[in-house]
Every structure is written in C-alpha cells, then in structure tokens.
Structure 1
Amino acid sequence: MQEIRVYDTTELYGEKGRFRVMEFNNQAIQGALDLNRPKRVVFEYPRAIIHLMEYNNSFFADVFAIGHGIGTIPGYFAEKRFKVAEINAEVVELSRRSFGYTLDNVEIGDGRQILEHEPANRYDYIILDAFTAKGTPQHLTSDGFFRMTRSKLHPQGSIIMNLMGKGGHDPLIGAIHTTLSGEYAYIKTFALRSGGAAGMLNILMMGSSRPIRYQARYLAGFTEIHPAPGYVIGDTCE
C-alpha cells in the first residue's frame, strides 16, 4: 500500500496561497484544496473532465468513478448520482477528515471488480482516475476492461480517463488508444502542455459511441493530440 501524506503549504506549483495537499509516495499529488476558496477546482485535469462531461451530455445523471483522491469531481457534482470505487480505505478517511468530503457514495475495493457487478447500461459516464507508483494499473486499460465498461454504459455513454505519458509518441499511450478504439467508435486525446518529472504529461482520453465535442477555451490548457498506433493491451499482457 502506498504511503499517503496530507500537509498544508503556502505555495503550490508556483501559486501563492493556502493549500492542503494529498500526496502519494512523497511526489505524486492526488488532490489539493484551496483553503481560501474551498469550492474552487484547483487542478487543470478535473476542470477539463468537468467540461467534457457537461458539454457532451448536460443532462447526465449516473457516473461510476474509479479512484477517489480527495473526491473533487463527485464533490463538484454533488447533485448527481456517483458511485466511487477506491481501493485504499485510508484515502477515503483522509478525504473526509482533512478535505471535507461528505458524500456517502464510496465503496472500498478494486474498481474493475466492483464495476463488473453493476447492472448493464446503467451509467452515463465512467471516470478512470486511478494510479499506483507504476502508473495506471494495466487491468484498467486492457481490451477486456474496455469491453466491460462499454456494457455498463448507456448506449450513448462515455469513458474518460486521466493518464500520464510522454504525449502522442508514447508507446503506452498509443497502446491504450489502440485498445480503446477496439470498443469505442470515437476517441479524443488531450495533453496538458506543462511537462512534469521526466517529461511526463497529464493526458486525458475519452471514448464514446458518438462524436465527442469540446470547446478548447474550457479545457484548462489541454490541447488535442493524436497518439501513434500501438499494440492491443490484453488481460494477460505483462
């Protein structure tokens, strides 16, 4: 299990203020709260995901999320029906105690296993925002997983993934894109052009059975990229 730290700081990525941060392994920040403006969505990737959700289906109601962090997106859409899968109970406890998460919608366990037991055609969106020290778990990017997600979505539903990679020429990002395209007719991929450690970029990937729309000015700095074709990720890939 990963080490989790919660701390307050007066500077976050060059911005001055009062912030409370949840961090894994002393380097991977999972969420941040602006203590001066608690309702503010601090990071770019949840702001971009929120735009994609609202712009592609303004009347959505049911969402399944894998990965909780501090609960930024479920908290933002508190009036919607979210079910959140989080493998680490300590993350959920800290989100309640230190970040003010109050919703009773989190189930502890592996997200894929929990989603497998959900009814077919139930969800408008599936959100994947799960990381280990090695990145997104492989069993959450495989052809079997994507096939299962499509069965749990409404016919017009979509999956949105928060990933890390080196852009359009990253072999793993290309593989995820190629694997996703085996199940979803339309895919859009976006990268935040501010490289982190070792040139890693924050990448969002969305799959849907219908064309995906967005307005660039509301994507919080993310721009569309076109990953190179890659291999198909199977459930037995190492």
Structure 2
Amino acid sequence: MNTINSNEDFFERYISLNGSTIVYKTLSSYQNIYVTERTKYEGSQGKFRMLQFSFDGIQGVINLEQPHALAASYSRITVDLINHYASDFNKGFIIGHGIGTVSSFYSHKHIVTAEIDPIVVEVSKKYFGHTGKNVLVGDGQALLKNLGSQSQDMIFLDAYSSSEIPSHLTSKEFFNLTNEKLSDPGILIINYIGMIKNDKFLHTLHARISGIFPYLKVFATNSKKKTKQNLFLVASRRFLEDYLPQEATPIQINGK
C-alpha cells in the first residue's frame, strides 16, 4: 500500500469523531483515497460505506443493507433533475466516476463515464460493487472532445479533486465544448459544492455558463443553509421550465 500523506492523522481523528471507521486507504497519483463506514448518514440508520478523498467531502455512498437504493440526497436530487429535464435521454456522458451511482442507476441507458484516476475505478469495483462497464480512464475534457457534435443528450459534471472541481472543467472553453457536444434538447448538469451567499466562484460559474447557454437553473439542497452544500446547475439551449424537486429548492443567483 502506498503511504498516505501527512493529512492522514487529521483525517482519521476527524472521522473517528463522526463515528466512522476506515475500511481501506491508499494514495493514487492524484489524491488520497479512503473507504469509510458508519452506521448513520443523513439521519438514517444502516451500514453506510463511503468513498472519500478528504475529510470534508464524500464522493459516493451506499447503504450495504440496501445497495440498490440511492443513499445520498445529492444522488436523489441529480436523478430527479435528470428525470425531469431529460426524461427521454438516450446518450449521456459523466465526468467523475466516484462509485458510479448515477451511471448504475441509468444502466439501461447508453452512458459513458470519464474518470481520470484508475485506482478510483478499481476501488468502486472492489468495495462498492460497480461493474466498471463503460468507464473510460482519462481526463473528462479530453475524452469529451472525441465525441461527435450534438451526440449527447445529457452531460453530468461531478468531478472533484478534494472538495473542488478541477479548474479546467469550469472554464469557458469547457462549457463551449459541452454546448458543442449536447443535442438540441440536451442538458448540462453540474454538482457544485459551495455557498448560496458570498460565494464569488458560484457567481463566476453562473456567468460563464449563462454566457453560453441561454437557459440556466440553480437548485440548493437547503436554501437556508449558510455554509457549503451541494448546489446543482442545469443548463440547456432549450427553455427550462420552473421545477421544484422533492429534496431541493430553486434559487436565484443575482449580482456579483
């Protein structure tokens, strides 16, 4: 096993305070990788297994007692938004594999996932039961460039290095590329971890996307929360009607 860097002791102290245990840990070329377990998650009891790259982020979670259920609210919100705004999509492209929750949910669709870290793919198979099917190892932007114009009905950006999206996947060039690859009714959906207020990068992200896509909606997991949370941006060239997901709230991003 590779040696975890100096953040290991802090991570282990932190998760022990939250009642978690480490099942597996290693160091890839890109990040620390931990598989942890706990008995409570988002107010529910069970045997929850999580993939983590840092103490303040969870890249995927399953309840081993109900492995086919969507254990995390952000996964349920993602599926809710896709089902509403792209209910009849045929082809999808996901950047960021995690444990493969969304791709597994849509196993009956043609979805390709880009994951830059091969160890993440192996961990998802060994500890989370993913098949590894239709996962390409490589940079998501580079792999997306290889796809045909207007070939995708849904692109989901869910890539993180620690708790931040890699900067090249939030650039104007990247959003122009997604616009080129999406079909006319297609949607781009982004899982962004940030704050509703006083989050300068959220405003930057919103401005970059709305400068390319004429329609953009933003949803918060908890509209009253002042600290960081999962925020969802849905963009398209076609009109996006107002929608109230079961576990999220539409929000407005105004000003700077």
Taking structure 1 as the reference length, the TM-score comes to 0.89
Following superposition, the deviation at residue 17 of structure 1 comes to 1.3
Residues 69 and 201 (structure 1), Cα distance of their counterparts in 2 relative to 1, 3 Å cut: same
Following superposition, the deviation at residue 7 of structure 1 comes to 2.4
Select the residue among 236, 241, 246 that pairs with 1:208.
236
Report the 3-state secondary structure (helix = DSSP H, G, I; strand = E; otherwise coil) of the residue aligned with 1:104.
coil
Alignment gaps of 5+ in structure 2: 1-29
Q: CA RMSD in A?
A: 1.8
2:139 matched residue in structure 1: 110
Structure 2 residue 105 is the aligned partner of structure 1 residue 98: no
Following superposition, the deviation at residue 5 of structure 1 comes to 0.8
2:44 matched residue in structure 1: 15
Following superposition, the deviation at residue 214 of structure 1 comes to 5.7
Report the 3-state secondary structure (helix = DSSP H, G, I; strand = E; otherwise coil) of the residue aligned with 1:199.
coil
Residues 194 and 56 (structure 1), Cα distance of their counterparts in 2 relative to 1, 3 Å cut: closer
* Residue type of the alignment partner of 2:107: A
* Residue type of the alignment partner of 1:193: N
After the TM superposition, list the runs of 4 or more consecutive aligned residues in structure 1 that deviate by more than 4 angstroms.
none
Select the residue among 188, 191, 195 that pairs with 1:166.
195
Q: Which has the higher contact order (CA 8 A, sep 6+)?
A: 1
Alignment gaps of 5+ in structure 1: 231-238
Identity %, equivalent residues: 34
Following superposition, the deviation at residue 121 of structure 1 comes to 0.8
In 2: Cα distance, 1:7 partner to 1:133 partner: 16
Report the 3-state secondary structure (helix = DSSP H, G, I; strand = E; otherwise coil) of the residue aligned with 1:120.
coil
Report the 3-state secondary structure (helix = DSSP H, G, I; strand = E; otherwise coil) of the residue aligned with 2:108.
coil
Q: Is the radius of gyration larger for structure 1 or structure 2? A: 2
1:50 matched residue in structure 2: 79
Report the 3-state secondary structure (helix = DSSP H, G, I; strand = E; otherwise coil) of the residue aligned with 1:151.
helix
Following superposition, the deviation at residue 215 of structure 1 comes to 4.1
2:153 matched residue in structure 1: 124
Whether the 8 Å CA contact 2:115–2:121 is kept in 1: the answer is yes
Deviation digits for residues 92-149 of structure 1 (CA, Å, limit 9, x no counterpart): 1111111111141011111111111111110001000011125111111111111111
In 2: Cα distance, 1:51 partner to 1:12 partner: 20
Report the 3-state secondary structure (helix = DSSP H, G, I; strand = E; otherwise coil) of the residue aligned with 1:29.
coil
